[in-house]
């Protein structure tokens, strides 16, 4: 059996301090002269990704151009917050090493792949995850966020088992 973890809110304590997210979303909005209000940030934040293209059109902005900047700023700010220690692994993450030898562990996350990779690098001395799958960086990748099965299918193709246990925050 493989134990598959979500990243944000399960392994990475990225939701307690959200100033990095506010900066990223505000920067993206302001780059297009869109007011960086809390409502506008929410519309392009993680909870608004399913309607991102519609939101961009409502803002009279090309969705591809807007997404490219929004995704870049989001990724940069999140990686910066991880590097500075503003956000990091939950204190109990090293306990997952107890699964080594009995169950393999992996990550599937709607966070960008560079964030998943940075997390894996940060915890590699404590926990040996078999793989980490994050979302791609293109606008079309938004169609494949969890619960879409695409990331799970990618994981299944590389696994040595047909049995998975998913640990998420919702």
Per-residue pLDDT tens digits for 27-74: 999 999 999 999 999 999 999 999 999 999 999 999 999 999 999 999
Mean pLDDT for 141-170 is 93
Cis amide leading into 147 (omega within 30): yes
Helix (H, G, I), strand (E, B) or coil at 52: helix
How far is Cα 168 from Cα 170, in angstroms, rounded to an integer?
Answer: 6
Please state whether beta strands 131-135 and 88-89 pair in parallel, antiparallel, or not at all (unpaired). unpaired
> 3: which strand partners?
105, 165
Question: What is the per-residue pLDDT across 67-121, written as a single tens digit (0 to 9) for each?
Answer: 999 999 999 999 999 999 999 999 999 999 999 889 999 999 999 999 999 999 9
Q: Check residue 47 and give its pLDDT.
A: 94
How far is Cα 52 from Cα 165, in angstroms, rounded to an integer?
Answer: 30
Element (H, E) at 88: strand 88-89
Q: Check residue 35 and give its pLDDT.
A: 98
């Amino acid at each position: 059996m493989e134990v598959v973890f979500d990243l944000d809110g399960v392994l990475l304590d990225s939701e307690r301090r959200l100033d990095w997210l506010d900066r990223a979303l505000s920067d993206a909005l302001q780059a297009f002269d869109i007011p960086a209000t809390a409502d506008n940030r929410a519309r392009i934040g993680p909870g608004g990704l399913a309607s991102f293209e519609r939101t961009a059109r409502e803002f009279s902005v090309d969705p591809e151009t807007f997404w490219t900047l929004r995704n870049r700023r989001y990724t940069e700010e999140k990686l910066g917050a991880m590097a500075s220690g503003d956000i990091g692994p939950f204190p109990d993450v090293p306990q997952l090493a107890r699964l080594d030898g009995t169950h393999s562990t992996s990550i599937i996350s709607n966070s960008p792949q560079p964030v998943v990779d940075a997390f894996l690098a940060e915890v590699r001395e404590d926990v040996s995850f078999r793989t980490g799958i994050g979302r791609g960086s293109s606008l079309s990748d938004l169609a494949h966020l969890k619960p879409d099965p695409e990331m799970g299918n990618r994981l299944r193709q590389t696994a040595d088992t047909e049995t998975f246990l998913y640990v998420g925050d919702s």
